[in-house]
Amino acid sequence: MTKQITVYIVSDSAGESADLMIKTVMSQFTGQDIIMKHFSYVQNQQEMNNVITLAKYNPSIIAYTIVTPTLKHYLDQRAEEEGITAVDMMNPLMGVFSQKFQMEPTCEPGQIRKLDEDYFKRIEAIEFAVKYDDGQEARGLNQADLVLVGVSRTSKTPLSMYLANKKIKTANVPLIPEIPPPPELFSIPGIKCIGLIITPEKLNDIRKERLKNLGLTGPANYASLNRILTELEYAQNIMKRIGCPIIDVSNKAIEETADIILDLYNKRGSFA
């Protein structure tokens, strides 16, 4: 026998998690007439009373995800008074987490949306860093939150990815004497750029090790000290022209350099 049931989905946030769960449960009761009605961002007792009034005169269930303690208590109390079935879809699991972590939940609505937004911003920044790595697609420099410049092997790429995981869209441009920098590099504010320098001796060691890892053991201009001195002088001239902050990465781990960049980024208003 087919019955018509109205499910009132009530939340002090968007109610998306309750909506998905209700649909999952509904799929197990095929052939039944189930109507869903949403009440999102419920913030006070009057709005809760409106739901109670509707549910009172229909075969219904109130399914809710409410984290605000006073609202949750009020709904539970009113539903019991009116003989309405109200199902708390969050509190049992919240209680288990609270017990395991030995702490009380924040009870702030809308946190899952904030987490989702953070996640997608991070993914967007990572995709940006990959797309605009090593001077690719110079047109993207204007869209970057931050642009790293420096000679080869100054950790531009790993720094770009590290910063991307902090939701900062980072591009990087290699400075090579034989290849002029893209014009876009000089059209963005110098404050949005960070120059990376390194001592000649340290870069010489890094490049020699790089060549060894590639199986190239003979002499190579790439790792010669004269070549390195030429590149570093050229790079510093470009950085002065841009007018950007310069960081010496010689004896710094990626995390240390990134912390310096993040400090600059935050102090200077996200390089706006």
Question: Which positions make up the binding site for ADP?
Answer: 150-157
What residues form the annotated binding site?
150-157
Does residue 87 contact residue 38 with C-beta atoms inside 8 Å?
A: no
- In angstroms, rounded to a whole number, what is the distance separating the alpha carbons of residues 205 and 78? 74
Nearest to 238 by CA among 165, 149, 113: 149
- In angstroms, rounded to a whole number, what is the distance separating the alpha carbons of residues 22 and 7? 8
Helix axes of 111-131 and 156-164: crossing angle, nearest 10 degrees: 160
Nearest to 13 by CA among 64, 85, 59: 64
Q: For residue 204, which amino acid is it? A: N
Strands 4-11 and 60-65: parallel
